[in-house]
């Protein structure tokens, strides 16, 4: 593979953002990889930040759900979901609305499971 910007120069890696081969002279080191120097640097860093923040969000919400979910009902999840979602949307806090959505999904999934189990018992 050759560098996308320099004909004949072997590429040392692939840009995280545009997936082009780039050589040592035009690559910039970003977290967990390289990116085109001054072209894709910003994009790659933003991409990393997005991935990192979504990872930590997922971790936070699952631990919260686990701590809340122990011994409490599905209705509680749904109520919490509506509260979080409403608050998040009202306050424009993405994390809150994300959390609310997760709670709602978990709550409805739980209700669905309970309803299924109940209908099985009847028949």
96 binds Zn ion (CB under 5 A): no
Which tokens hold the place of 107?
Answer: 């709550």
Shortest approach of Zn ion to residue 54 CB, angstroms? 22
Residue from 12, 13, 14, 18 touching Zn ion (CB under 5 A): that is: 18
For Zn ion, the closer of residues 37 and 82 by Cβ is 37
Tell me how many degrees the CA angle 50-106-96 measures, rounded to the nearest 5: 45
**Contacts (CB under 5 A) with Zn ion, residues 21-40:** 23, 25-26, 36, 40
Q: 62-90 burial by CB neighbour count: b if 16+ within 10 A, else e?
A: eeebeeebeeeebeebbebbeebbeebee
For Zn ion, the closer of residues 22 and 80 by Cβ is 22
Length of the chain, in residues: 123
Shortest approach of Zn ion to residue 14 CB, angstroms? 9
Torsion of CA 91, 94, 100, 106, to 10 degrees: 180
Contact present, 90 and 82 (Cβ < 8 Å): no
For Zn ion, the closer of residues 5 and 108 by Cβ is 5
Residue from 15, 34, 80, 96 touching Zn ion (CB under 5 A): that is: 15
Contact set with Zn ion (CB under 5 A)? 3, 5-6, 15, 17-18, 23, 25-26, 36, 40
């Amino acid at each position: 593979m050759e560098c996308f910007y320099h004909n004949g120069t072997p590429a040392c890696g692939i840009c995280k953002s545009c997936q082009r081969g780039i050589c040592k002279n035009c690559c910039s080191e970003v977290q967990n990889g390289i990116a085109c120097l001054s072209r894709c640097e910003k994009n790659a860093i933003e991409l990393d930040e997005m991935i990192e923040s979504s990872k930590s969000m997922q971790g936070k919400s699952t631990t919260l759900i686990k701590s809340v979910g122990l011994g409490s009902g599905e209705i509680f999840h749904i109520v919490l979901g509506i509260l979080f979602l409403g608050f998040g949307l009202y306050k424009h806090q993405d994390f809150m609305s994300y959390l609310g959505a997760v709670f709602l999904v978990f709550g409805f999934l739980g209700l669905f499971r309970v309803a299924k189990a109940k209908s099985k018992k009847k028949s």
